[in-house]
Amino acid sequence: MPEDGALPGHALAGAAGRPLGFYLHVPYCATRCGYCDFNTYTASELRGSGGALASRDNYADTVVAEIRLARKVLGDDPRPVETVFVGGGTPTLLPAADLSRMLAAIREEFGLAPGAEITTEANPESVDPRYLAELRAGGFNRVSFGMQSARQHVLKILDRTHTPGRPEACVAEARAAGFEHVNLDLIYGTPGETDDDWRASLDAALGAGPDHVSAYALIVEEGTQLARRIRRGEVPMTDDDVHADRYLLAEEALTAAGFRWYEVSNWATTEAARCRHNELYWTGADWWGAGPGAHSHVGGVRWWNAKHPGGYAQALTEGRSPGAGREVLAAEDRRVERILLELRLADGCPLDLLAPAGARAAARALADGLLERAPYEAGRAVLTLRGRLLADAVVRDLVD
């Protein structure tokens, strides 16, 4: 990774035809949830490492410095930004003015496309009507709340600090503040969660009136507190059959409420309610990820930043790129990546992307009812509902 972050000339070839997005990572949380292995730090985890540079107080300035570096690296690339997604961590631990200041730097340096989608993630306990109104006034038009569950005992296993009912109130507050699009993130398959608990979470989420819902099977990540608790036998592991049943319950409840899936874990009420930022990742567009540990992709070049907020800020303070490493994707890597990502979409992936072994696997998946017949006959691999339940396995077979 060159110190100035310069890209090889070929990365910007054909850029005009690809949308450009920004991801801004905010690596701070008030407390760490036992299941989470995202690159985020509590105040006590940061104490003694990174000093003032790693602190929340300076963070917006540091990210603005990276946005200015992005402008230099992308040179006279004239594209305005189509999507901005502020994620974490807990972006809403920062003052709303800091989030708006980072967005303003993107607007100044690149310009925002008309109708650009500007999202922030928010933890339900960290916002109030005033905070949301400030974000809206700063230019945000979409907010994604980490609801996870409506049941207290499930929230407790997940170490969530908000109370049941708070995420639903957040949706109402966001609508009152003028947010056009509101997402709720849910997690299913938490140890101790029953089918009834999950149904109650879906009902509560849908009752709140979001236009987008993400529902993720709980992943027990190695090295997390939850993994240790499961290993010690303190909490039971959820099995795959339970995950499949919960997914079917989600599909049923969401479809009945007028939502349609557009990616295996994502449902929206209309096409306009889909998360365009995530679609940009899934379709191999260009995005600049700012912040510690953030990944970027421009024209087949992928790079990632220093992981720790201290080292990240140090680089930018010294006028260097915070990039820690990069790779240039070969044509074969890009083909495999396209299959991995596009097969999870409701639009599916073109069959002509598949190698001979993958094409034979697709024919078997069709016979097994894992791929839809009509799109297959029109040259595309699209998962059936049963295929979605087994998405990881189908994808593995088709990339052969």
Ligand X SMILES: C[S@@+](CC[C@H](N)C(=O)[O-])C[C@H]1O[C@@H](n2cnc3c(N)ncnc32)[C@H](O)[C@@H]1O
Give CA–CA dist 140/271, Å, rounded. 19
Give CA–CA dist 88/293, Å, rounded. 11
Nearer to ligand X, 188 or 303 (CB): 188
Nearer to ligand X, 84 or 187 (CB): 187
**Candidate residues 29, 206, 213, 353; the one interacting with ligand SF4 per rule CB under 6 A:** 29
In this structure, the number of other CB atoms found within 10 A of the CB of residue 34 comes to 17
185 binds, among ligand SF4, ligand X, none (CB under 5 to 8 A by kind): ligand X
CA R_g for the chain = 21
Question: What tokens does 315 get?
Answer: 């680089």
CA torsion angle for 259, 263, 265, 266 (degrees, to 10)?
-40
**Candidate residues 11, 25, 40, 188; the one interacting with ligand SF4 per rule CB under 6 A:** 40
Nearer to ligand SF4, 121 or 372 (CB): 121
Is residue 88 a contact residue for ligand X (CB under 6 A)?
Answer: yes
Give CA–CA dist 144/280, Å, rounded. 17
Nearer to ligand SF4, 146 or 348 (CB): 146
Binding piece for ligand SF4, criterion CB under 6 A, among 27-35, 55-63, 189-197, 287-295: 27-35
Is residue 123 a contact residue for ligand SF4 (CB under 6 A)?
Answer: yes
In this structure, the number of other CB atoms found within 10 A of the CB of residue 32 comes to 17
32 binds, among ligand SF4, ligand X, none (CB under 5 to 8 A by kind): ligand SF4
CB of 96 to ligand SF4, least distance (A): 18
**Candidate residues 57, 221, 240, 327; the one interacting with ligand X per rule CB under 6 A:** 221
Dump the DSSP string for 234-290.
Answer: SSPPPPHHHHHHHHHHHHHHHHHTT-EEEETTEEESSGGGS-HHHHHHHTT-EEEEE
Is residue 146 a contact residue for ligand X (CB under 6 A)?
Answer: yes
In this structure, the number of other CB atoms found within 10 A of the CB of residue 365 comes to 23
Is residue 131 a contact residue for ligand X (CB under 6 A)?
Answer: no
Give the residues lining the site for ligand X (CB under 6 A). 35-36, 38, 87-90, 121, 123, 146, 148, 185, 187, 216, 218-219, 221
